[in-house]
Structure formats: structure tokens, C-alpha cells
Amino acid sequence: MTALQVILVSVSAYLGTTVLGAATGRQPWATSLVYALTLCISAVIVATAVSQLLGAATGGPASEISLPLGLPWLGSHLRIDALSAFFLSVVGLGGVLSSLYGLGYGHHEEAPQRVLPFFPAFLAGMNLVILAADAFTFLISWEFMSLASWALVMAHHQEAANRKAGYIYIVMASFGTLALLLAFGLLAGADGNYAFAAIRAAEHTPAVAGTVLVLLLLGAGSKAGLVPLHVWLPLAHPAAPSHVSALMSGVMTKVAIYGFIRIVFDLLGQPAPWQGILVLVIGGATATFGILHALMERDLKRLLAYSTIENIGIIFVSLGLTLAFASNGMTGPAALAFTAALFHVLNHSFFKSLLFFGAGAVLSATGERDMEKLGGLIHRMPVTSFAFLVGSVAISALPPFNGFASEWLAFQAILQSPDLPQWGLKIIVPAIGGLLALSAALAATCFVKAFGVTFLGRPRTAIASTATEVDHFSLAAMLVLAALCLLAGILPGLVMDSLAPVALALLGNRLPEQAAIAWLSIVPITETHSSYNGLLVFLFIAFSASLSAFLVHRLGSRALRRAPAWDCGFPEPSPMTQYSAGSFAQPIRRVFGTLVFRARERVDMPAPGELRPARLTVTTRDLIWDWLYAPLTGVVGYVAEKLNHLQFLTIRRYLSLVFVALILLLLVVALWT
């Protein structure tokens, strides 16, 4: 069988597992069976997709198949090429590790019958989106993916917060699908040929191309989490089970990025410089907004959700750079920026899945997501603590882990901006580079807070003091991801070479081959401009740390000495005197609070003689929700209330309304033709 046929059979196996999960979800053995099957199916997809991607590097052709499904005159077109093979690898690997994690974590699920049928369906939907080669199949698969993930978000629908998260998520998903439907309608044109091959061959006017780009930013951007369409992420990710949160954040958002790349770089034709400016500005704003809100959070999973928004912004900044360079025929820098975007897609799927797995382990062991009620877990959950630390260092873009390699490539692309001819781009690109640098520094601050408050210090509650390590399946999934974060960081050249066929197919150029460079260095442009060697950096850090530890133990006392922590002259044994998530974020809140969060601090100070404690209450707001979505929902509610009387009309008035609507529709058609 061809690679495409193998993946289609695997998708069918996912759907069969969905039926099996629905039939046996209440059985005690169903959890192990369903996750074992999805793990095996996902492993087959990963192996097939990676083989196809490596084959594309040696000139292997894309393969396509048409099935007699869907629209009668169109059928269902499915295709695998270098771009789809890469994203299938990301989805498949996410499915393997989430399934491995689910083998242990799933046994803590209170209602597995609400999760098991939809988990394989979710994976099937994401794979079908990537395989789709016509608009109808793409949209049907997109909606199937959205509905399956919505069902997983609503798994614990007894809680009011989860119901609200599910409602907002399905509304935003429907809005995104509508925007994509309009975009494909414009691309198909009057002929109505929805096959990607026909759209690719057609000529699109600048007005159509610009409108399609805006619709894509609304449609794919709402699913990816671009600001201001991000509002569902910090609600839906905490509501879903943790391994589902890892899939939604680490994988599903990448499927949205795939849709954007497929249409903009494959179907839409030559970009214009203003398109690059638009995507750059939105990406930079998204990155900064996301990490600032992540810093304010005390809920561990909400913090990770806002951090996803930041990383999506980084990817879109790289894609905006690609558009800017490609619009000016600068295919070399465009290939550099595009490779940085794809590399960060892969990296984010690694370290964000790892961090959500770590948050799920903490939740399983303590029942808490609130960092203020944790602390001291490094002594009780050492493996989870180590894995979460690796993910924190990787997402903070610190060497030698993978986050540094992809963000370093993005900055190398930014440094090529002086060669752009448009003054608007010459000004905008360095400004966005400054925002990325600020986001990187704030990300490091954010995850020092997340790791320190959660795992270090003393337990703040009895639950944290009695936590125990989680099961071996969950630990194995986290350790595999930690190893992948390190390998992609110390061997980035191998990843960059595997991404070269994607850049070559879409941009007509690729980065120089990195595998042949001595010492496994990477040289994205020329040695006179830049180079980086992740392996040597790793060896230097490992050697320096080992030497320092040896000297300390050799020259210092070998006896273990314990003493009370420095108490600043106030010997108060309460663990509440430690740094908290709120106190850690206070300096950032004081700087950005009024402008970004509308932060308010209220102090309740007892009168002299009162024995009750003083209380400091801090509130922050999402201004985009307050200024955009709250008024919009108010208008919708008002209009719905005013139109409510329409359901009480007589039959004659209903027929009159239908007649008037028909006349108006005929007038529109007459004017259009």
C-alpha cells in the first residue's frame, strides 16, 4: 500500500475505535484497550508520515486519491505531500504520547464513557483535515475535529465553568468554520471548483487574495488562538482532561496553522508586502498579550493555555516574515523564516504537551491546579518535577533545549529585514523583534514562577504535603517528551534538513544542508553571519555543572547539613510566608497592570484591636473580552429578545415573510448576474 492508503486505513481504525469506545466505555478494561489501540494506530501514522517526509527530501512524489464521497460532482480528494507529511508526523506523535499518558491518567477519569469515544474521533478529525485536498472535505473534517474536541471539553459538564468553556468554544469554532467557508467560496470563484488543484491553478485578484487572508486570520486564527480570537483557550484547556489539553494545545492549534499555511502559501499565489505586515503585527501582539496574561495566572493549566497563545504568536511572526520576504522575491530569507515557523511548530508540540502532562500529574496527585495551594512537590514527585523543569527550560527558549533553536532561527530571519525594500517593513520588523525579545524574557520569568511556586519551597497545604508520584505510563510519556526536547535542541540541523522539502515545495528554496557541517553546527545563512552548535553548548553546560558539583563536594564538607531557612528576622514557621504566584508576578503587574489587565488591588485592613487578618485582593481583567465580546453578546441578546415574538406569528404572516424573503433573494440574484 502507498503511504496515503496506510494513513487512510489508520484513520478508519480510529473511527472503529470510536465505536468500540462508545460500546464499552463503562467497562473497567475499556480505558486500557482504547488508549492502547490509539497508541498503535498513531505509531503507524508517525512511521508512515516520517517515511513520506524523508522520501520527499530525496524527490519522492506526492500521492493523491479520490473517493466517491461528499459532493456528487466533486467527490472527496485526499493528498499527502511534504507539508501534510510533516503535520501528520506532529499529530501522530502527539497521539502516541497522549495515548501513552492516557493509559495511566485515564484510570483516574470519573466518567471514561464521555472521553473514550471522542478521543480517537478527535485524532481522526485532525488527520483528515491535513489529508483533505478539496474545500468540502477540508471543512467537513474541520467541523468533525471541532465537534469531537468540544465533546471532550464538555466531558465534565457537571461543573458550570466547564459548561461555559464548552459554549464559548463551540461558538468560536462555528465562527471560524464560517470564515473558512467564505474564504473557500472566494477561492473557488464563480465556477465553484472546490478542488485544491483547481484553486491552485486559478488566478486570484489582489482584492480576493487580501479578503481571503483576512478570513483565514479569522477562521484559522480563532482555532489557533490569535488575539483577539483567543478567548476560548484559557477556558477550554483547563476544562478538558489533561491529555486532551495537551492534544488541543500542542497539536490541534498546529492543525489550524497547517490550514493557514496550506491556503496562503500553496493555494493563494504570490503574496503582497502588506500581508506580511498584517500577520507580523497580529503575531507580535498575540505573543506579548499571551505571556503577560500567563504571568498573572495562579491556575497552572490556565497559565499554560495563555502560554500557548504566546507561542502561536511566535509562529505567526515567523510566517509574517516569510510573507514579507516572499513578496519581494527573497526566497533565501523566506525559507529561513518558514523553517523557523515549522521548527517551532514541532518544538511547541513537544514542550507544551510535556507541560500539560506535568500539570495533569500534579492534578492527579493533589487534586489542585491552584499554585498557591501547592509547593514542595519536588520531594514527593521527583520525576514529574524533573520533566516539568525540562519543559519549563525548553519553553523559556534557553539552550541547549529545542525552544532556543527555533526562536534563534526566527531572530536570524529578523536580522535579514534591512534588505527589505519597503520602509514599512524595515520599521515594523525590528519593532516586532523587540516584542519577541520581551516575550522571551517574560516567558522565562513566567516559568520560573510556575516551577518554583509549584515544586519548590514548602507545601502550602496538607494535600501538597501528602502527594505521591504518578503512574509509570504517565512518567514514561513525560520522560520521552523531555528527551525529545533535548534531542531537537542539540541536533537542530537534522530537524532543519527534514523540513527542507516543505520549504522547497512552497517557496522554491531551502536552507543549506546542515548535516554535512562539521560538529553538527547549524549555519542558516553563512558562517560570517551566524552559527550555533547545540551539541557543544550541551557538552559545555554538562561539563561545567559536573565540575562545579565535584569541586563543591571535594573541597567543601561532605556532611549533610540542614538549617532553618533565613527568616529575615521574623521567625514565622507558616509556609504561607513563602513567595506566592501573586507576589512573584507583582512587579510585572505594577508595570503593565493598568494598561493590559486593568489590575485593581484592594486592601482590607482591620481596625486597631481587631484580631482578623488583613487581606489583599487583586483582580485582573481580559480587556479584549470586556471591550469586544461582552458588548457583542449584549447586542445579540437584545436582538434575540426583540425578535422573540416572531415565533408567535400566524401562518399567514409566516407565509408573507417567506414570500418577501424570496423576492429579496431573486432581486439579489438578478443584480449579481
Could you read off the pLDDT of 247-287 as tens digits, one per residue? Answer: 999 999 999 999 999 999 999 988 999 999 999 999 999 99
> What spatial distance separates the first Cα and last Cα of the chain, rounded to whole Å?
48
Q: How does residue 527 score in pLDDT terms, banded at 50, 70 and 90? A: low
Q: How does residue 573 score in pLDDT terms, banded at 50, 70 and 90? A: low
At residue 653, the pLDDT reads: 86
Q: What percent of the chain clears pLDDT 70, i.e. is strictly above it?
A: 97
Inter-CA distances, 258 with 7, 114, 637, Å: 18, 28, 35
Q: How does residue 559 score in pLDDT terms, banded at 50, 70 and 90? A: low
Q: Mind listing the pLDDT tens digit for each residue in 397-449?
A: 999 999 999 999 999 999 998 888 888 898 999 999 999 999 999 999 999 99
Grid cell locating 627: 471591550
Look up the domain containing 641 and give its range. 623-672
Q: How does residue 592 score in pLDDT terms, banded at 50, 70 and 90? A: confident
Q: Does pLDDT of 497 surpass 80?
A: yes
Q: Among residues 481, 512, 543, which one ends one of the domains?
A: 512
At residue 504, the pLDDT reads: 92
In a domain, 596, yes or no: no
Inter-CA distances, 394 with 349, 450, 465, Å: 11, 14, 28
Number of domains in the chain: 2
Helix ranges restricted to H, 106-205? 118-131, 135-153, 160-188, 196-201
At residue 558, the pLDDT reads: 64
Q: Which of 399-408, 522-531, 605-614 has the lowest mean pLDDT?
A: 522-531
Inter-CA distances, 437 with 133, 344, 404, Å: 38, 16, 12
Q: Does pLDDT of 556 surpass 80?
A: no
Q: Does pLDDT of 557 surpass 70?
A: no
Neighbours of 305 (CB within 10 A): 28
Q: Mind listing the pLDDT tens digit for each residue in 76-118?
A: 899 999 999 999 999 999 999 999 999 999 888 888 889 999 9
Query: CA 341, CA 318: separation in Å to the nearest integer?
Result: 5
In a domain, 221, yes or no: yes
Q: Are strands 63-71 and 75-80 parallel, antiparallel or unpaired?
A: antiparallel
Q: Do residues 97 and 21 lie in contact, with contact meaning Cβ atoms separated by under 8 Å? A: no
Q: Mind listing the pLDDT tens digit for each residue in 294-307?
A: 998 989 999 999 99
Q: Mind listing the pLDDT tens digit for each residue in 615-673?
A: 878 888 888 888 888 888 888 888 888 888 888 888 888 888 899 999 999 998 888 76
In a domain, 661, yes or no: yes
Residue with the bigger pLDDT between 258 and 372: it is 258
Q: Among residues 512, 543, 563, which one ends one of the domains?
A: 512
Q: What distance lies between CA 587 and its chain's CA centroid?
A: 27
Q: Does pLDDT of 1 surpass 80?
A: no
Q: Do residues 251 and 354 lie in contact, with contact meaning Cβ atoms separated by under 8 Å? A: no
At residue 673, the pLDDT reads: 67
Average of per-residue pLDDT across 561-584: 72
C-alpha closest to that of 242 among 101, 40, 345: 101
Query: CA 109, CA 105: separation in Å to the nearest integer?
Result: 7
In a domain, 364, yes or no: yes
Q: What are phi and psi of 508, to 5 degrees?
A: 80, 10
Residue with the bigger pLDDT between 434 and 69: it is 434
In a domain, 133, yes or no: yes
Query: CA 201, CA 278: separation in Å to the nearest integer?
Result: 25
Compute the chain's Rg from CA coordinates.
26
Is the same domain home to 508 and 629?
no
The three-class DSSP label of residue 228 is coil
In a domain, 318, yes or no: yes
At residue 365, the pLDDT reads: 92
In a domain, 163, yes or no: yes
In a 10 Å sphere around its CB, with 0-12 CB exposed, 13-18 middle and 19+ buried, how is residue 367 labelled? Answer: exposed
Average of per-residue pLDDT across 464-493: 94
Q: Among residues 484, 512, 540, which one ends one of the domains?
A: 512
At residue 202, the pLDDT reads: 87
Q: How does residue 129 score in pLDDT terms, banded at 50, 70 and 90? A: very high
- Which DSSP category does 491 fall into? -
In a domain, 360, yes or no: yes
At residue 618, the pLDDT reads: 81
Residue with the bigger pLDDT between 481 and 26: it is 481
Q: Does pLDDT of 44 surpass 80?
A: yes
